[in-house]
Amino acid sequence: EVQLQESGPGLVKPSQSLSLTCSVTGYSITSNYWGWIRKFPGNKMEWMGYISYSGSTSYNPSLKSRISITRDTSKNQFFLQLNSVTTEDTATYYCADLPFFDYWGQGVMVTVSS
Amino acid sequence: DVVMTQTPPSLSVAIGQSVSISCKSSQSLVYSDGKTYLHWLLQSSGRSPKRLIYQVSNLDSGVPDRFSGTGSQKDFTLKISRVEAKDLGVYYCAQTTHFPWTFGGGTKLELK
């Protein structure tokens, strides 16, 4: 059974960096694409980016140069770093396998507040 | 970016009723390989999103055939026949044909 689990702080101060980890079991992240999606208060969903089986990345241009997705294949984990956060980055962050959304993590709510 | 316009934003239904949700894209979702990467997801209260249908009309394993997806190019529909209580939640269409991948605004299905 494929499982994804996000972890990371639930509170981040404005201007700081948000860092999350997605731990994957039951499937190797050296296969397929793995990414981050966030859901804002209300219903809006946004695809943030992915890291591929080869380690290449693709990001949503809306996040410009603030985002970085990396991985540790030895631990079967991949990571999200979002820099210079503002209150508008307050959202629930999900990791998922892409591009078909087969599997999702349970989500982690991140609040940006001083 | 491809804009996904989902309507209605909310639906109040009685158990056993049938409903349809529309999803219209600002560009054709046919990819260069001829396939259409339009998917439907359901997020039930307190849970992660779950995919119901992929590539317009393919039901995921375990999804009852009360659900059906149709459409082509820029116009897509999710139909739910004989709504059950477990169908309640927020439905999203999502496209992975064009970068950046985008979602519809969601349709909240609730009990009348």
Residue A66 per-residue DSSP state: S
Contact B72, B29 (CB under 8 A): no
pLDDT beyond 90 at A47: yes
B98 touches chain A (CB under 8 A): no
Mutation site for B-interface testing, chosen from A37, A38, A43 by largest number of B Cβ within 10 Å: A43
Q: Which residue of B has its CA nearest to A93?
A: B48
| A25: its two tokens | 């079991």
What burial class does residue B84 get, using C-beta atoms within 10 Å of its C-beta: 0-12 exposed, 13-18 middle, 19+ buried?
exposed
Residues of A with CB under 8 A from a CB of B: 39, 43-47, 58, 60-62, 94, 98-102, 104-107
Name the nearest CA neighbour of B109 among B28, B26, B41: B41
Question: Taking CB atoms and an 8 Å cutoff, what residues of chain B touch A39?
Answer: 43
- Alpha carbon distances (Å) from A89 to A1, A14, A67: 31, 9, 12
What count of CB pairs under 8 Å joins A to B?
50
Whether the per-residue pLDDT at A83 is higher than 80: the answer is yes
- Token duo for residue B55: 């590539």
The DSSP letter of residue B30 is B
For residues B38 and B87, give the distance between their C-alpha atoms in angstroms, rounded to a whole number. Answer: 20
What is the pLDDT at residue B23?
Answer: 98
Q: What's the CA gap between B86 and A17, in Å, rounded? A: 38
Question: Tell me, what's the pLDDT at A64?
Answer: 77
Structure tokens of B43? 């997020």
Residue A45 with chain B: CB contacts under 8 Å: 49, 92, 94, 103, 106
| Structural tokens at position A14 | 């404005």
User: Each residue's pLDDT tens digit in chain B (112 positions)?
Assistant: 999 999 999 999 999 999 999 999 999 999 999 999 999 999 999 999 999 999 999 999 999 999 999 999 999 999 999 999 999 999 999 999 999 999 999 999 999 8
Strands A67-72 and B58-59: unpaired
The four Cα atoms A29, A30, A32, A35 give a dihedral, to 10 degrees, of: 40
Among all chains, which residue has been given the structure tokens 């609730």?
B110
> Contact at 8 Å (CB) between A18 and A31?
no
Is B101 within 8 Å of A47 when comparing Cβ atoms? yes
**What is the nearest CA distance from A93 to chain B, expressed in angstroms?**
10
**pLDDT over 70, % of chain A:** 100
Q: Among all residues of chain A, which has the CA nearest to that of B10?
A: A43
CB A96 within 8 A of CB A113: no
